[in-house]
Copies of this chain bind each other. A is one copy, B any other.
Amino acid sequence: MISMKDIAAICHVSVATVSKALNNHTDISEETKKMIQQKANELGYFPNPAARALKTHSTYNIGVLFYDEANSGLTHEYFSSVLEAVKNTAERRGYDVTFISHFVGGRRMTYCEHSRYRNVDGVVIVCTDFRDPEVAELIHSDIPVVTIDHTFDSCSAIMSDNVKGMSDLVHHIYEKGHRRVGFIHGAASSVTDYRLASFYRTASQLGLSIPDDYVVECAYHDTEMANRRTRELMKLKNPPTCILYPDDITAISGINELRQMGYRVPEDVSVVGFDGITIGQSLDPKLTTLRQDAQTIGSSAADQLINQIEHPKTTIKQIVTVSGEVLAGASLADLRK
């Protein structure tokens, strides 16, 4: 590896001058700068990140908090797509991506300690339990943080527009002629809150009445629980003609559960998911769902974080919402015919 010392020797200047030239300080003449920068390029010089971190506490490294008790966060297509986009955008802007965890060197650390330990320049919180006090500690620290799908008042957030998404879905369902719509919603979280509120508000705007027992809870991606909830809904004296699921995985599972109960989908019951995973569009019937724009969400998060890192003064913290898109599939019957 070639170091500043090498460049200094070749250019007959001191190491200090090389450093200043490469960092574009004002007290180096233009021609010296040019000459040093060119030589550095020729030699394929890269600053040693360890040495730089030691002095400046900045590494071109961003942390990703991606933690799921079930240890399956990464296998959820939505989250992994977000991560993929974060990674690609960060790389494009010259940052590496490191996972933030609880353990290092065999000892437990808080997320915040880990972030400081590795000197990451910032953290994207992609998937975690947002009630975890360690998450609070992290977002209240001086480390730049961007959260995805959850808002804290102290940091930027990129949100999938769950309110508009749910509203669009309910409008779509309504337009297809459905008046009895059940909603198996996800477990308590801010995303769930947004969707639930939007569901009720949109229903009310459309004049849909939603019986209390039409709305039940189910953990995200928990197909067994979703299947139980499906049975419960269909056992009501006046069951819904359409069931909204917390995500596509449970929706697909729901379709099969309904079929095993003897219902035809969508002739007898319609099914609507949320997320827009790819496999849902290769199924028969194609799943009606809301495709969340994971690509945009992930890359906006990375961009926002890096902007905050590079321009801490001028970058304003903000909440960005990213719209999804209704994917109309045959799993939703058109009752108007």
Q: Give the B-binding residues of A (Cβ under 8 A).
A: 1, 46-51, 53-54, 59-61, 71-75, 77, 80-81, 83-84, 87-88, 91-99, 101-107, 109, 113, 116-119, 223, 249, 252-253, 255-256, 259-260, 278-279, 282-284
Q: Is the CB of B105 within 8 A of A46?
A: yes
Q: Is the CB of A252 within 8 A of B283?
A: yes
Q: Is the CB of B99 within 8 A of A87?
A: yes
Contacts of A96 on B, CB cut-off 8 Å?
98-99, 101, 104, 118
Contacts of A278 on B, CB cut-off 8 Å?
75, 249
Q: Closest Cβ of chain B: how far from A290's Cβ, in Å?
A: 18
Given contacts A97-B99, A252-B282, A283-B283, 6 further A-B contacts (CB under 8 A): A46-B105, A74-B74, A91-B102, A96-B98, A249-B278, A252-B283
Could you pull out 25 A-B pairs where Cβ atoms are within 8 angstroms?
A46-B104, A46-B105, A46-B113, A49-B118, A50-B54, A50-B59, A50-B119, A74-B74, A74-B83, A80-B80, A91-B101, A91-B102, A91-B103, A94-B104, A95-B104, A96-B99, A97-B98, A97-B99, A223-B282, A249-B278, A249-B279, A255-B284, A256-B282, A256-B284, A279-B279
Give Cα distance in the complex from A282 to B227, angstroms: 10
Q: Is the CB of A103 within 8 A of B98?
A: no
Q: Closest Cβ of chain B: how far from A293's Cβ, in Å?
A: 14
Give Cα distance in the complex from A49 to B99, angstroms: 15
Contacts of A92 on B, CB cut-off 8 Å?
103
Q: Closest Cβ of chain B: how far from A330's Cβ, in Å?
A: 11
Give Cα distance in the complex from A61 to B98, angstroms: 9
Contacts of A283 on B, CB cut-off 8 Å?
252, 256, 283
Closest chain B residue, CB of each to CB of A224 = B282
Q: Closest Cβ of chain B: how far from A265's Cβ, in Å?
A: 10
Contacts of A117 on B, CB cut-off 8 Å?
46, 49
Contacts of A75 on B, CB cut-off 8 Å?
77, 80-81, 84, 278
Closest chain B residue, CB of each to CB of A53 = B50
The 9 nearest A-B residue pairs measured at CB: A50-B53, A253-B282, A256-B284, A74-B84, A94-B105, A50-B54, A91-B101, A98-B98, A74-B80
